Chains A and B, each alone.
Chain A
């Protein structure tokens, strides 16, 4: 008799537990996805489907970028060494005109108001 009473209650507990787990999982997914998009990680994630073509071109090994030691003495030789490695990296950075040009302008996209046929005439 007592077992017959316990069975439906046990089932209910099991359902509550499963539902609770699903709800908590859903909440955690929502929280993690909002963190993923708000932190800017989504913009750096080249594993996203839209970035297949460029995924392999990401620089994975920057071995020529030597880490300067934060410990040790300071003398003219050390300063000079640091200046050389800094100048090398600075030059590398400045050689790229990142986000330059204007590829989103109506002219570049071919959606400007001026008709190219009219302009040539």
Chain B
């Protein structure tokens, strides 16, 4: 009898959890889309797909070219200058710290772009004439991810500025040390 009660209780808990999960899932997908929007998506499905395809290609090119430039700034300039300072036993903690932040931001950019591309591909794979609401949701998610990628780019630009400022400070300190030695 006790076992029976326990089974019923356990089943109830499971049922409540499943109901909660399905409610959350539905509410996450349920974006308010008007009948007019549904009609627009349905009637312009082909042109929407073309627009998304063009964006998919142009963003991939941008990712390759910008990624290469960000990578080169790090590997061909920053890392090499830091190594040269270390080889000469010159303290460069501020530059190292700026480099570390830049490295982390570059990793975040790579990861966020990957997520964005996957979400945009999801939108492209959604049938907009048959599932306009799902298509709208998929585009909204991809949009959010693209905004995140843009924020990463802004952050990388800020960190390049930060490294430049640290470099200016380093130059000043170096000059004052050299002048001090001459005196």
Chain A interface residues (CB < 8 Å from chain B): 40, 42-44, 46, 50-51, 53-54, 57-59, 62, 65-74, 76, 78-80, 82-83, 85-87, 89-90, 92-94, 96, 98-100, 102-106, 109-113, 115
Contact = CB atoms under 8 A, between A and B. Distances in A.
Contact of B37 (A59, A69, A93, A106): A106
Contacts of B174: 74, 76, 79
Contacts, number: 156
Contact of A73 (B70, B88, B156): B88
A81 B124 CA distance: 48
- Report whether over half of chain A's contact residues are helix, strand or loop; otherwise say mixed: loop
Interface of B: 34, 36-37, 40-41, 44, 48, 51, 53, 55-70, 72-73, 76-81, 83-85, 87-88, 90, 110-111, 113-114, 117, 136, 139-140, 142-143, 146-147, 149-150, 153, 156-157, 160-161, 163-164, 167-168, 170-171, 174-175, 178
Contacts of B59: 99
Nearest to A88: B77
A82 B77 contact: yes
Contacts of A74: 84-85, 88, 90, 174
A80 to B, nearest CB: 8
Contact of B157 (A89, A93, A110, A111): A93
B85 to A, nearest CB: 6
A89 B160 CA distance: 10
A110 B40 contact: yes
A3 B110 CA distance: 62
Contacts of B67: 44
B64 A44 contact: yes
B58 A104 contact: no
A89 B117 contact: no
Contacts of B175: 76
